[in-house]
Amino acid sequence: MEKFLREWRQDALNKHQHDTAIFVGDKVLALTEDPNDAFWLAQVHFTTGNYTRALGFLNQHKLIADQPACKYLAGNCLIKQGKYDEALNILGLKDPDNLQIAPGNARRKHLHIQKNLRNGTSRGGSASHNRIDRSEERDGVETSTIRYEAGMCYLRGLCHAKMNAFDSAKECYKNAVRIDVQCFEAFDQLMKNSLLSPTEEWEFIESLDFDSISNTSDSATQEAAAFTKLLYTTRLSKYAHPTEFAAATEELSTHYNLSQNADILLSRAELLFTQCRFRESLYLTNKILARDKYNMSTLPLHLANLHELDEKNALFLLSHDLADNAPHEPTAWLAVGIYYLSTSRIADARRFFSKASFMDPHFGPAWIGFAHTFAAEGEHDQAISAYATAARLFQGTHLPQLFLGMQNLMLNNTVLAREYLNTAFNLCKTDPLLLNEMGVCFYHSDDLPNAIKMFRHALHLASYNIEYATARDGTTYVRNPDPESPYGDLMKHNTAFTSTRANLGHALRRAGHFEEALEHFSEVIRLGGRDTGIFAAKGLCYLEMGQTWDAIGALHQALSVNAQDTVATELLNRALELIGEEGLSGGITGAGAESGAGSSFATAQTRELEEEEFDRRIGLRRGAGRKSVRAGRKARALEPLDPRDFDTPERSGMSRGIGDEEMEGEGAMSSPPEASAYDMDLEGDSMAVDSDDE
């Protein structure tokens, strides 16, 4: 009878007929009084959401104290009910240090010592002089017990995170992975919540002993260890070690045929997003969503790409779909907030970012998006407060510190801005957009050599890992790494860093390197940056070099872009006056031969006044391309928004420049894009198209 009932119980569970499983399981427990049957029934209650009944079964049969599996389930029940202090009382406050494994080489060495001790062949003939690592105590513990202990470390981390003790949570997650390298839940929490900096992530994965993974044979064990390390490598930050990341994805794609796997495609899309190659990143996220429409780990990055490319109609349709079919997911309301942000409805965007963060207080893209809404309205104090909250929640990502520095730059607090930017730089030294902001800070502090150094380094990093090609018409393109892309082998050149190049040109101009500055301004124009300020800056350089006619040509081009630009108009009038003065003093040809830098553009005092007026009127390019910080990027991007995945409207793609028009203040942030032809009117949780827009 017992065998019959257990088979019936298991068959019902396999069919997800939980009521039948509970009915039959209760009869089995009444017949046997077996603790294993009680644990089985408690698991079914947990699966159906009856956490109180599951905990009651465990307490009734006194299983929690003696069985690690039962203790793990009891702690999980209490966490689901929000009783974090009680969960910690059951799980304990300390992680089991004796079960943590030493890194690979040390582990093998200790195993060798243990073998010698058992054989009585240790050096000196005495075992007492050999130090045995504490991780050897694992040898007498069952594998299932070790894995449940790792799971309890993970649950301790969840409790600490829910109580905002992020340092304690980080250590618990790390210990869980050290005890059981296959505890992916803990590893994923470390990555998606940005609890480690990019450098710390790589150091941590190098410290793990993947050789502890057991399999049927030694060769299979080694392959499993290598495979697991490759998978974990693809989850790390894309700002560090791009060569190792490329090698890992290449081996997984070719050797294990995972090139079309969603996680591998997502990792590649994240890398492209950090390089501001949004169209290519969007192509990969579209491939993932074509197979799995509601892949919630991909959607924040996908939304960030759509926002970057100003795809308002696609955002509208996707946010409607998510709000209708997945209203319980914070990503659905993140999508609504991003749509409203793209259509300049800032108050509505803030409302839905707030709703997403309320549903999941550790959802990075929602926090970053919420802060961006204040920045978009020029509410710098509120934006700083929101970014500071994000920085406290996501300690391993540099983006909140970067945004704090940007806000202080807009308030002309260059000293405080430099402190935040230096903090961000200590977390991530390979983000070209961060280096651009540091260059802007040096520029405002009149530290031109360091500003030039930062802008050059930013451009060097931006061009890393990007292959260039030139079409027949002379247009520069970026090679597409995916041969199946409908965009072909060539993609339009990545123009996200033209603002950084323009900044470099302005810094060189102020430093007196006019010829090199002209080269960079010409490159910006060639890449599509036909901006009035760039042409005006070229005109100013020509005037400084005494080439008045070239200056007139550049200023005419500036006015052809914007005929109402007052800076270009004043500079053109000044150039025409100089031509007139040269003609009166003996003819254009003669004056051109006699005039130097002093006579062509008046005295040094006049040049200094013109320089100050030009910088004051035109402002400084804040360069900051959009990122998503996803608590899982990044957030993109605000990753993200990494969003490392949600994205922000104040980084380089939509930034003001040293050569931009006069704004609300020096270096003011660009306004959001114009409203879409479609608009959403949300009442509660419902969305509908406005009748006027149809």
pLDDT at 474: 40
Q: What is the DSSP letter of 98?
A: G
Q: What is the pLDDT of residues 187-212, one digit of tens each?
A: 999 998 889 988 899 999 999 988 88
pLDDT at 467: 41
Centre a 10 Å sphere on the Cβ of residue 216 and count the other Cβ atoms it contains: 8
Owner of token pair 């660009």: 670
122-148 b/e (C-beta count within 10 Å ≥ 16 → b): beeeeeeeeeebebbebeeeeeeebbb
Peptide bond into 238 cis (omega under 30): no
Q: What is the pLDDT of residues 366-393, one digit of tens each?
A: 999 999 999 999 999 999 999 999 998 8
Q: What is the mean predicted confidence (pLDDT) over 524-537?
A: 86
pLDDT at 623: 43
Question: Does residue 230 carry a pLDDT above 90?
Answer: yes
What mean pLDDT is reported for the chain? 77
Return all residues near 57 (Cβ < 8 A) that are at least 6 apart.
Answer: 38, 41, 42, 45
pLDDT at 494: 52
Query: In this prediction, what percent of the chain has a pLDDT beyond 90?
Result: 48
How would residue 447 be classed by pLDDT, with cut points 50, 70 and 90?
very high
Query: In this prediction, what percent of the chain has a pLDDT beyond 70?
Result: 72
pLDDT at 531: 85
Question: Does residue 417 carry a pLDDT above 90?
Answer: yes
- Return the amino acid letter for 204: F
Question: Does residue 487 carry a pLDDT above 50?
Answer: no
Reduce the secondary structure of 510-549 to three states and give it as a string: HCCCHHHHHHHHHHHHHCCCCCHHHHHHHHHHHHHCCCHH
Question: Does residue 219 carry a pLDDT above 90?
Answer: no
Beta-ladder partners of 688: 681
How would residue 101 be classed by pLDDT, with cut points 50, 70 and 90?
low
Centre a 10 Å sphere on the Cβ of residue 164 and count the other Cβ atoms it contains: 12
Q: What is the mean predicted confidence (pLDDT) over 327-331?
A: 94
Angle at 605 between CA 603 and CA 608, to 5 degrees: 115
- Which of 100-114, 238-252, 507-521 bottoms out in mean pLDDT, i.e. has the lowest? 100-114
Query: For the chain, how many helices (H) and strands (E)?
Result: 33, 5
pLDDT at 686: 34
Q: What is the mean predicted confidence (pLDDT) over 258-287?
A: 91
Q: What is the pLDDT of residues 538-583, one digit of tens each?
A: 999 999 998 999 999 999 999 999 888 888 899 999 999 888 877 6
How many Å apart are CA 35 and CA 41, to the nearest integer? 10
How many Å apart are CA 9 and CA 339, to the nearest integer? 48
Spatial CA neighbour of 278 closest among 244, 298, 307: 307
pLDDT at 269: 92
pLDDT at 2: 84
How many Å apart are CA 588 and CA 83, to the nearest integer? 86
User: From start to end of 186-320, where are the E strands?
Assistant: none
Spatial CA neighbour of 433 closest among 693, 129, 181, 639: 639
Owner of token pair 């008045």: 548
pLDDT at 449: 94
Q: What is the mean predicted confidence (pLDDT) over 520-532?
A: 86
What DSSP string runs through 628-688? ---------------------TTSGGG---TTSPP-SSTTPPPPPPPPPSS-EEEETTEEE
Question: Does residue 610 carry a pLDDT above 50?
Answer: yes
**Residue 580 structure tokens:** 């007139």
pLDDT at 263: 93
Angle at 681 between CA 287 and CA 329, to 5 degrees: 45
Q: What is the mean predicted confidence (pLDDT) over 151-162?
A: 94
Q: What is the pLDDT of residues 20-62, one digit of tens each?
A: 999 998 999 888 888 888 899 999 999 999 999 999 889 888 8
Q: What is the pLDDT of residues 613-671, one digit of tens each?
A: 555 544 444 443 334 433 333 333 322 223 233 233 233 332 333 333 332 333 333 33
- Residue, of 688 and 275, whose pLDDT is higher: 275
Spatial CA neighbour of 194 closest among 163, 239, 136, 230: 239
Return all residues near 128 (Cβ < 8 A) that are at least 6 apart.
Answer: none
**Residue 72 structure tokens:** 């793990």
Return all residues near 78 (Cβ < 8 A) that are at least 6 apart.
Answer: 51, 55, 84, 86, 87, 90
Question: Does residue 596 carry a pLDDT above 50?
Answer: no
* Helices 399-410, 432-444: inter-axial angle, 10-degree rounding: 30
**In Å, how far are 157, 180, 513 from 166, measured between CA atoms?**
8, 21, 49
How many Å apart are CA 427 and CA 625, to the nearest integer? 18
Question: Does residue 588 carry a pLDDT above 90?
Answer: no
- Which of 268-277, 494-503, 586-595 bottoms out in mean pLDDT, i.e. has the lowest? 586-595
Return all residues near 28 (Cβ < 8 A) that are at least 6 apart.
Answer: 2, 5, 6, 9, 37, 41
pLDDT at 55: 92
Q: Provide the phi-psi class of 62: left if phi over 0, else alpha when psi is between -120 and 50, else beta.
A: left
pLDDT at 204: 93
